[in-house]
Chain A
Amino acid sequence: MMNIVTTLQKDRFTPRYYVAALTDSMSLQKAQVYEQSLVRVEADKEETLENAQFMQIYRSREVGQSYITSIATTLLATLHAMWLIIRIRPQVIFCNGPGTCIPLCASAFLLKVVGLGWSSIFYIESIARVKKLSLSGLLLYKLRIVDQFIVQWPQLQQKYPRAHYAGRLM
């Protein structure tokens, strides 16, 4: 994900909101380090810091959690995601696969359906997926929730013709 963010034209994609799972502090830390490095380059501290925000979201289900309690946590995660999407009103969403992106994409999609917002949703499948999509990827592909579905291996694109392949990111 950070490979894409660092390559994107920052003046076009501003402000940036980074969302990661509550149990995943590594990803946000990476994003924070990157945004800090932009501040130094531009020497315009206040403005750039305003351009980036970092937030965490509840996970639908932790590894090993029971199915009964995961109904409640999924509901909580979905409401939280909906609230974030309504608050941020993103025009572009990039996501790269963990289950946390499903409620976010679904919320953004729902807002589009009812005409309350418009966002372009890009999904980038993990490079670890060579022959089969991940469960999140498969769901978003089949339900046609995302606008552009990007995979990192040509054989995966052949299997899922609506997907795009434009080389590897790593």
Chain B
Amino acid sequence: MGDRGRRMVFVTVGTTCFDALVKAVDSEAMKEALLQKGYTDLVIQMGRGTYMPSKVSGSSTLQVDYFTFSPSIADYIREASLVISHAGSGSIFETLRLSKPLIVVVNEDLMDNHQSELAEELAERKHLFCARPQTLREAVEAMDLTALQPYEPGDAKPVVTLINKFLGFPVG
């Protein structure tokens, strides 16, 4: 990581168990697609999942590494040229704040899948790409990074002004 000429893809599932995503990025076809796009390294943060990705990849030359948890996820995102993340809002906004291209993969196994709402809304606004585990490879092949719009971070001041107004504090 950090070497000139290396382009790392960072996959993160946060504190969840999302084996379907780890499996999807571990496939030969997926690694081939990433190589085609010019990526050289694949780092997988697999969280509570039990599926072990293979470090050696058959014919491809993509460097693969994985780990379960790390206190420095932000460092990996900073180093990455592309982030593939679960749909948790923490991971999404951390990646957008660091202005990294992002593909959010929605976990369809979750019972109350409200998380797809956020990913789909931000995808509609062209801040990221949204996929499912089974459509991830097509999403990688089809993605056009120049189509992405930079994300303008939110601002707490208007909300705090609203709160102050309601409580009768002078605003200003």
**Chain A interfacial positions (CB closer than 8 Å to B):** 3-4, 6-9, 12, 92, 94, 120, 122, 124, 126-132, 134, 147-148, 150, 152-153, 164, 166-170
Question: Is A167 a contact partner of B93 (Cβ separation < 8 A)?
Answer: no
- Residues from chain B with a CB closer than 8 A to the CB of A147 are 166
* B157 interface contact, C-beta 8 A: yes
Give B111's nearest chain A residue, CB to CB.
A63
Task: List 4 A-B pairs, minimum CB-CB distance, nearest first.
Answer: A168-B154, A166-B158, A7-B156, A130-B117
- Residues from chain B with a CB closer than 8 A to the CB of A132 are 114, 117
Per the bound structure, the CA–CA distance linking A83 and B164 in Å amounts to 28
Could you list 22 A-B pairs, sorted by A, with CB under 8 Å?
A3-B154, A3-B156, A4-B159, A4-B160, A4-B163, A7-B157, A7-B159, A8-B160, A8-B163, A94-B163, A127-B93, A127-B118, A127-B154, A128-B115, A129-B114, A130-B121, A132-B114, A132-B117, A166-B158, A166-B159, A166-B161, A169-B154
Question: Is B158 a contact partner of A167 (Cβ separation < 8 A)?
Answer: yes
- For chain B, the count of residues having a C-beta within 8 Å of the partner chain is 23
Per the bound structure, the CA–CA distance linking A129 and B89 in Å amounts to 10
What is the 8 Å Cβ interface bit string for chain B, positions 142-161, against chain A (1 contact, 0 not)? 00000000000111111111
Partner of A169, one of B115, B118, B159, B161: B159
Per the bound structure, the CA–CA distance linking A122 and B163 in Å amounts to 8
Known: A12-B169, A166-B162. Contact between A134 and B114, CB under 8 A? yes
Per the bound structure, the CA–CA distance linking A54 and B166 in Å amounts to 26
